[in-house]
Chains A and B, each alone.
Chain A
């Protein structure tokens, strides 16, 4: 690891947050699922192709900035396929040596029969980057959304999670890619969700703190009860762990890249930590907020349901535990510490 220190300009982060908070305030009930208006606004601000090369219309930023953007949207209760478009679809096209244009994109990973399940945002995309099995490896095709059959669905995060079917003719001309391109895509996808979970947990903590300070029972704010304080403190601890672990993974993704085995390990660690942190944060927040927290009216569900949904996308929590365990077993007793620290 070099001595590179990645930190994001505070003004840029503040600007990102404000865009999403303003957008969210325009609707009564959340989460806000971004439409064309918000996408255009983000595009004008240079945020939809944040990590693209500047000579191909991108903003030339890196993973650190992209993670802040994901956090800003998730933390404001705004659903928008920025990660899917920029970090996953456009990046996968670039890795495959294929050109991209201004269309909004997502990635659909298809099985041998041409079907992809729970594809994020397919029903709102202009074009879809298909990742298909081919001759024991994989190939990539960039197709118009109209060229595939999309059966819309909605996940617990209230984002589009659609079924995509591509007929063999649609993917016949797909470009073969090395396995490392596929592995890198999956790792980026996993990290996108990890960052989103972490941002949701931070917001859950804020909402819980606000509630227990305002809500009076037995003549005093809930915050004055030690049992409640401990519920909230444990949310803070777990949210901090999720933030630290995802931050470490983002940094390795930025500095060392997805091919470095340390990045793969860090992403697995981040997903395990964030996934289990969500258990504590969601349980304790709902306990502290009481019945109001279970309603549509209260905003808590915009973060708790999303955190629980996101933590199992691109790999369930237990699967990430298992990957960390497998990496540890490979390293053995004497290799465990270097695996953790180097």
Chain B
């Protein structure tokens, strides 16, 4: 009796939660199909105009009215940047954590703490010097300039360090007795054992990379390197022209899709990597 009542209550709360999260997305979807002035006039309908669904395709193929860059290109740049950041971070942090945990070398502690301290210096804090360095290397307006400064970070190194520390010493020793050298151990044991953590980190870092705004805005002025986030924001900044809210909403909706795909595809691994401690 009480059991069913709490079940009902739980479902109602759950339903409300879903509505709360889904409503804005629906609003964007509906808004994208209105005419450009509808939002400015304040009569945004909650019902999409099915006759105007083509806006998604046209934005994707040709971009916003006054821009020459199609949205598919922006999505591609965003995806490449997010992938580059995620993969680059994982590779570098994995290797540096491997060195810090499994090898005894001079200044090991100093090396670790140096990495650790960079936690306190995110891109936003060191943006001017970083820009100067990139400019000196001639990496402004290049894909490398877009990704490399965002790749260096301590968070992933720390995470991998924790994962590696939890690996029993005896597993390392068993591999040594079996004749596995450092590279073999990395490839045959360490990577597979921490696969779930790598996947979880990949999801987090992909979304992090996808959402980057300030750095791409600064380092890449060439429109061909515009990310989707930049593309959306640029629509606001059109001076005397009315902001084309419907186009913006269509682009926003398209911009959500790739991170959602990544999260959904790797969901199982993601949860496993964050919760399960495998021995």
A and B are partners in one complex rather than unrelated chains:
no
